[in-house]
Homo-oligomer: A and B are copies of this chain.
Amino acid sequence: MTQKLRFAIIGAGRIGYVHAGSVFDTPNTEIVYIVDTFKEAAEKVAAAFGGKVSSDPEAVIASGEIDAVIIGSPTPTHIPLINAAIKAGVHVLCEKPIDLDIKNVDSNRAAINAAKTNVTIGFNRRQDPEFKEVKKRVSAGEIGNVEQVVITSRDPGPAPQGYIAVSGGIFRDMTIHDFDMARNFIPEIVEVTAFGANAFCDYIKEEGDFDSVSVLLKGSRNEIVTIINSRHSSYGYDQRIEVFGDKGMLQIQNFTPTTVKLFNKESTAAGEPYLDFFLERYAASYRNELKLFIQGIQEGKNLGSTYDDGRAALILADAALESARTGKAVRVSF
């Protein structure tokens, strides 16, 4: 690629800032536009990493000035913007979830899967060095046949009520990452059961959502995946996985800012609280995701998560929600 790859970043919130920074750090790329309906946000990102400011994503996509777009705007805009990009011959890296309504996802599926440009869905954790190492070693047979996967995911604290109100609920907003990770290890999931609870947060309850959930997934080859979520965690962002096979188990550990441990009369080997949240914890993962996206453009094929990966995670989220509400295990197919 002799020419620079020209990017627009749509959505100048926290995640847009991270993506813009990653593009800025990548050789042979250029940020042409930062787009946000909230102009000041766009200007802040542009000041840091360059690019013109716009509040009109459709116009930017159609401008002919960009080769690729990173979509981090609100969920309802995802499918329209993907479609616009496809039409304009622009490659897409779109944040999860694709949409909160599986019907919308399904009705756009054929067209998007037939697109000539790459459409990657941002399940960045698959690109995290920790999870990748586990995946690599599992694939190499180090623990034999996978029988159980246990995923623990707890956020440091709940998102504000306004966010919760439009989030689609914990399963579609938060657990969706864990559903994708479950599929990373157990591609064929056939059944879902879930419990949801309102353990601590009144405004999440007001929104008809849960603050704590556990989900069980059954795989087609007798695997069981267990997911444990909470919308808060006093000790920081808790992101663990344990993959259990007949020959061994692999685990990842949480991230502390440094490895320093304190020993005194109260306690021993006490580490620091965990990194506060996903932008810090998954910094490498976001960079790898972008790298893979660019490499995919160069190779003419999507190397990251697909639209169908995004759809599958949403199907699992819907099934978990149904199960948590009805008390019945829900069979799923993709």
Interfacial residues, chain A to chain B (CB-CB below 8 A): 25, 129-130, 133-134, 137, 142-145, 147-148, 150, 152, 154, 191, 193-195, 197-200, 212-214, 216, 218, 222-224, 226, 228, 230, 232-236, 244-274, 323, 327-329
Partner of A145, one of B200, B249, B267: B200
Inter-chain contacts of A258 with B (CB < 8 A): 129-130, 133, 252
Which residues in B have their C-beta under 8 angstroms from that of A267? 235, 262, 267, 270-273
In the complex, 24 of the A-B residue pairs with CB atoms within 8 angstroms, ordered by the A residue number, are: A25-B25, A129-B258, A130-B260, A134-B260, A147-B199, A148-B212, A148-B214, A193-B216, A193-B323, A214-B216, A234-B245, A236-B265, A250-B261, A251-B260, A251-B263, A252-B258, A254-B259, A264-B273, A266-B270, A267-B267, A268-B270, A268-B274, A327-B328, A328-B329
Shortest beta-carbon distance from A134 to chain B in Å: 6
Given contacts A193-B193, A228-B148, A328-B329, contact A247 B259 (CB under 8 A): no
Separation of A197 and B195 alpha carbons in the complex (Å):
19
Assess the B193–A195 pair: CB atoms within 8 A.
Answer: yes
Of listed A195, A257, A272, residue having the most chain B CB within 10 A: A195
Q: Could you say which residues of chain B place their CB within 8 Å of the CB of A248? A: 234-235, 262-265
Contacts A130-B260, A216-B216, A268-B271; A222 near B198 (Cβ below 8 A): yes
Q: Which residue of B lies closest to A271 (CB)?
A: B268
Contacts of A223 in B (CB 8 A): 197, 199
